[in-house]
Structure 1
Amino acid sequence: MFGLVAWGGLATDSLSNSMSTAFTWMMNNLGWGFVLATTGFVVFALYLAFSRYGRIPLGQDGEKPEFRTVSWIAMMFSAGMGIGLMFYGVSEPLSHFVKLPGAEEAKLAGWTQQEMDDALQTAMSTSLFHWTLHPWAIYAVAGLAIAYSSFRRGRKQLISAVFVPMIGKRNAEGPIGRLIDILALFATLFGSAASLGIGTLQIKTGMQAAGWIGETGTNILVAIIAVLTVCFIASAVSGVAKGIQWLSNINMVLAAALAVFVFVVGPTVLILNLLPTTLGAYLSDFGAMASRTGAIGGDAMTTWLSSWTIFYWAWWISWTPFVGMFIARISRGRTIRQFIGGVLLVPSVVSLVWFAIFGGAAINLQRGGENVYGQGEAEAQTFDVLAHLPLPLVTSVLVMILVAIFFVSGADAASVVMGTLSQRGSIEPSKWVVIFWGAATGAVAAIMLVIGGGKETALEGIQNLTFIAALPFTVVMVLMCVALLKDLRSDHITVRGEKGVEVLEQAVIIGNEEHDGDFQLEISPAEPSDDDADSDSETAKAKAE
């Protein structure tokens, strides 16, 4: 990490070229792995929810959930992707509307009605694809594995502890386990830095839209990063958890207020119509979207995937250690079925509503002749849309406040999690360790933006480094699924269920053989055997009527 920061500071062009070359090679040769892995996580999560394992609690038998359902849902969503929705709520549907997935160029004029309708459905379904089942299935797999390992099996709240059934406790606490936690730690570092970089771009553009600053280079970006970094480090080490919780709750209220405002003053009827249309298009196009790779569409599709789908999968995976550990901590006492149902469905519904409101408002302006797409700069499009609605200055300032607080309230927890991982599961890591990881997050975010180059390519540095950092942890997550399944197969509820089926089947066979099908089943103490004279277990016996 020190080497990366030094390299970026002393030889920016060299780092930029090296990262770009590595990214291109990995994208062309390994991008398919992200596509398969993320869809596999969706299938795995749904399988667990609907299988016999769904009734296993994330805690001891009979243990009640630690938090009420409403509080659990609110905390879960606030941790997941608040800053991302603020940045991409307008940008993503609008971008896919004017430039379809894999298209060479944006289309800003000359639409037929059919082309416009098709582009609208593609834009909304693609946005929903990137923000619903797939990202939350990634979080669900990691959160479920950590919660089960910790609350059901009594292990430490570490990624490495999940691998005990696969590699044994000694290896999980040894060098192999440390390597797993290091990969998780650096994935979290780059995921947090990516969010900081994205938030910084949007805050800078908002300041320009408000007329507070003019056109500037990367210096202002680094200054914004420095301010935000100081804020979340101070938050992380201050111990004022209630204050941060209060800020997070205020932020959720402000975000809801902004959404309601745009819904009311924007194209209300179109937004309402988009809800079923978007859901239907998403379900209809799910298979095609989940299988998009560079095999079709040539270089244009590969470029699009690297900027959107695969970047998203890498970003979600890099956030997984933090969000997974957070969701695990607040989910004690819930069953696997309740956990997966809540984690997958509730945020997906919120994302559907959010994109219908902000994406609908943006697309309505674009197809009405207002070029809010501009030059394709994602960070500017939200403010361009707000400029066409009432109270643009107020709403623009509100967006900047929301982005800043969303990041600060999430990054302080992420720096604590990195401290926990680096100090082998300590619930309260040293303040100096937390400060170190907070400063490292800011430094990596600055390097991400600097190696991206100019204003138009600032996101490229974020995307390149995020993809490279997330790739090793993707392998860890796949193996995590295997380890979790091994744990679930040996759970006493699973074993008891299998034994019950076996005993019942044997009793029915004996009843049919000895009583010609005319029998009843009853429970009585088992007769002592030579092998187990002290057994006090019970068994089902067939008895003639």
Structure 2
Amino acid sequence: MKQVSSVFWVTLIVSILFVLWGAFFPDYLQAVMNTAQVFFLENFGWYYQLAATFFLLFALFLIFSPYGKIKLGKDDDKPDFSRPTWFAMLFSAGMGIGLVFFGVSEPISHYVDPPMGAGGTPESVRLALRYTYLHWGFHAWGIYAVIALAIAYFKFRKGLPSLMSATLTPILGDRANGLIGKVVDMIAVFATIFGVAASLGLGAGQINSGISYLTGIPNSFGVQLIIIAAVTVLFLLSAATGVKRGIKYLSNANLGLAIVLFITFFILAPTVFLLNLFTTTFGEYIQNLLVMGTWLSLFNRESAAWLQNWTIFYWAWWIAWAPFVGTFIARVSKGRTVREFVIAVLVAPTLVCSFWFAVFGGTGIYMEHNLGIPVSAQSLETALFYVYEHMPFTIVLVIVTLFLVSTFFITSADSATFVLGMQTTNGGLEPPNSVKFIWGIVLSASAAALLYSGGLPGFQTTIIVSAFPLSIVLFMMVFGLLKSFREEVGKGKQGGGQKEVGHPLNKNRART
């Protein structure tokens, strides 16, 4: 434990206190979180909308800017992973469980309760898919791309530690390694814990629903607690093997299993309808991207509440996930150019996620709109399995889905323990197993505490609250990145060479 920083001890103690709070005073925790959620949603919805749109526009700017040729590493560095493996790793960490959990349930929910107008209409079909694409598309990956780019650039190009605070060096100077830097890293750790805990809670709920469908075991907190405990053992075993073994192999397995499930489902579903639906709705999504990303419905309270519960929540979730996903994507992206990196992280996952929702969500909508099957009457956890009941090979689909959710669960938690280890060991690329094990247990305990105290609403609140201070840090990272890019391009024009930024942690390592 000699490698851990003061950030480790402070965040660990606070995390344990939070878990104990949820375990012994769940009603009080839920009441506090509800109050905080109402405050942030009603007063800062505009801020989350503008923040998410800003990060997307900045990512697009980088693709076409002169900075696109800058390499995330030394000029002769080569990528550590092939493109297929790289894509599998960023995809598994970036979305994972959410795609399976919300694949049917979110579009069908928007279909019966759209952001505007009446539900159950052809117009609500288009709105349902458009807003689902919005929530899981360019805005989300724009946030990830910018943050991951900053971390990768300062780590591999400038030789700084893989810490959020290190990316602020161009703005803060030596203060990035002082108290301000420590606070920034603590904010990143807490956002990572709460953001990932939400996904683990969702995964446990869906695994429980699938097992209940197969065996009749009740869908309850006790069963979900057992699931979390069992999966915790598995992802801790995977975490012990490191990023180039356990996470790499599981990510490839995730992608392969997801492809098998997707192709099978696509063949069994109303294929022509889904292709027409995707073509129409994705085109409308592109056309209305900026409008949807800034709309707040000033004069309709129902639409405003819908936006708060869905769109604003998602922006906060992706911001809260940014330190985790950004650090992990940065870790596996050495040797890519800025342009290659941003295009890959921004475009490819958006297309995959959108088509995924068109196929799974579109099938649920088709069943309800055309066949009268009440898919929308199911809970978020059970909607997918209910759709399976009305398709051939039901049991096979359920079993494959349970395996996929489980592997996504393991990969997300495995990646999160790795990132938390990096964040609390001065940015070390290979954190000790003991540190990863501790954070793995904290993640699982946090997910259990939030499930016990409030379920999905509890997850929403912690995400929205933790994302607010983190978003300020992300803006600072963008301006620090721009400042460093300008300096590097300026030196290149003047014939200057690349120079590593000095950092106390690097100096200490040099002396030892």
Please say whether Structure 1 and Structure 2 have the same fold, judged by a TM-score greater than 0.5: yes
Work out which of the residue numbers 255, 266, 269 in structure 2 matches 1:266: 269
Shift in Å at residue 148 of structure 1? 1.0
CA distance in 1 between counterparts of 2:376 and 2:249 reads 37
CA distance in 1 between counterparts of 2:150 and 2:16 reads 31
1:146 aligns with 2:151: yes
Between stretches 69-78 and 351-360, larger displacement belongs to 69-78
Work out which of the residue numbers 176, 179, 184 in structure 1 matches 2:183: 179
State the Cα deviation string for residues 154-195 of structure 1 (Å, max 9, x = none): 111111111111011x21222211111111111111111011
Secondary structure class of the residue paired with 2:55: helix
Shift in Å at residue 231 of structure 1? 2.0
1:210 aligns with 2:214: yes
Shift of the 336–377 alpha-carbon distance from structure 1 to 2, 3 Å rule, reads same
Shift of the 8–67 alpha-carbon distance from structure 1 to 2, 3 Å rule, reads closer
Aligned pairs (5 A) from 1:74-223: 74-101=88-115, 107=119, 116-168=121-173, 170-214=174-218, 216-223=219-226
| Same amino acid, percent of matched pairs | 42
Contact 2:109 2:376 (C-alpha < 8 Å) held by counterparts: no
Aligned pairs (5 A) from 1:322-337: 322-337=324-339
Secondary structure class of the residue paired with 2:250: helix
What letter matches 2:414 in structure 1? D
What letter matches 2:282 in structure 1? L
CA distance in 2 between counterparts of 1:473 and 1:296 reads 30
Contact 1:450 1:461 (C-alpha < 8 Å) held by counterparts: no
Residue 246 of structure 1 corresponds to 249
Residue 509 of structure 1 corresponds to none
State the Cα deviation string for residues 352-380 of structure 1 (Å, max 9, x = none): 22112111211110112343434352111
Between stretches 426-435 and 461-470, larger displacement belongs to 426-435
Shift of the 240–354 alpha-carbon distance from structure 1 to 2, 3 Å rule, reads closer
Secondary structure class of the residue paired with 2:375: coil
Between stretches 223-232 and 59-68, larger displacement belongs to 59-68
What is the total number of aligned residue pairs between the two structures? 481
Structure number with larger C-alpha Rg: 1
Contact 1:362 1:372 (C-alpha < 8 Å) held by counterparts: no
What letter matches 1:200 in structure 2? A
Residue 399 of structure 1 corresponds to 401
Work out which of the residue numbers 45, 50, 53 in structure 1 matches 2:59: 45
Work out which of the residue numbers 490, 495, 498 in structure 2 matches 1:494: 490
Secondary structure class of the residue paired with 1:16: helix
Q: Structure 2: 5+ residue runs without aligned partners?
A: 1-14, 496-512
1:450 aligns with 2:452: yes
Shift in Å at residue 294 of structure 1? 5.6
Secondary structure class of the residue paired with 1:14: helix
Shift of the 428–240 alpha-carbon distance from structure 1 to 2, 3 Å rule, reads closer
State the Cα deviation string for residues 277-331 of structure 1 (Å, max 9, x = none): 1221102222331113263421x23432233112211221122112112221222
1:31 aligns with 2:45: yes
Shift in Å at residue 73 of structure 1? 2.3
CA distance in 2 between counterparts of 1:167 and 1:119 reads 48
CA distance in 2 between counterparts of 1:107 and 1:137 reads 30
Residue 507 of structure 1 corresponds to none
Aligned pairs (5 A) from 1:341-490: 341-375=343-377, 377-452=379-454, 458-490=455-487
Residue 82 of structure 2 corresponds to 68
CA distance in 2 between counterparts of 1:328 and 1:240 reads 12
Contact 1:34 1:313 (C-alpha < 8 Å) held by counterparts: yes
Contact 1:192 1:414 (C-alpha < 8 Å) held by counterparts: yes
Residue 232 of structure 2 corresponds to 229
Contact 2:450 2:459 (C-alpha < 8 Å) held by counterparts: yes
What letter matches 2:181 in structure 1? G
Secondary structure class of the residue paired with 2:71: coil
1:313 aligns with 2:315: yes
State the Cα deviation string for residues 95-129 of structure 1 (Å, max 9, x = none): 111111157xx845xxxxxxx32111111111111
CA distance in 2 between counterparts of 1:372 and 1:396 reads 19
Secondary structure class of the residue paired with 1:308: helix
CA distance in 2 between counterparts of 1:217 and 1:60 reads 52
CA distance in 1 between counterparts of 2:436 and 2:110 reads 39
Secondary structure class of the residue paired with 1:331: coil
Shift in Å at residue 238 of structure 1? 4.8
Q: Structure 1: 5+ residue runs without aligned partners?
A: 109-115, 453-457, 501-545
Contact 2:211 2:217 (C-alpha < 8 Å) held by counterparts: yes
CA distance in 2 between counterparts of 1:236 and 1:296 reads 50
CA distance in 1 between counterparts of 2:235 and 2:316 reads 23
State the Cα deviation string for residues 494-521 of structure 1 (Å, max 9, x = none): 3333x59xxxxxxxxxxxxxxxxxxxxx
CA distance in 1 between counterparts of 2:77 and 2:93 reads 25
Q: TM-score, normalised by structure 1?
A: 0.84
Secondary structure class of the residue paired with 1:85: helix
Secondary structure class of the residue paired with 1:377: coil
Contact 2:196 2:443 (C-alpha < 8 Å) held by counterparts: yes
What letter matches 2:157 in structure 1? R
What letter matches 1:207 in structure 2? I
CA distance in 2 between counterparts of 1:234 and 1:92 reads 33
Shift in Å at residue 254 of structure 1? 1.5
Contact 1:98 1:119 (C-alpha < 8 Å) held by counterparts: yes
CA distance in 1 between counterparts of 2:293 and 2:275 reads 26
Shift in Å at residue 479 of structure 1? 0.9
CA distance in 1 between counterparts of 2:229 and 2:467 reads 24
What letter matches 2:492 in structure 1? R
Shift in Å at residue 432 of structure 1? 2.6
State the Cα deviation string for residues 224-259 of structure 1 (Å, max 9, x = none): 222222222232135595244333322211211111
Shift in Å at residue 68 of structure 1? 3.3
What letter matches 1:482 in structure 2? F
CA distance in 2 between counterparts of 1:258 and 1:373 reads 20
Shift of the 211–23 alpha-carbon distance from structure 1 to 2, 3 Å rule, reads same
Larger RCO: 1 or 2 (CA < 8 Å, sep 6+): 2
What letter matches 2:310 in structure 1? W
CA distance in 2 between counterparts of 1:208 and 1:155 reads 49
Secondary structure class of the residue paired with 2:383: helix
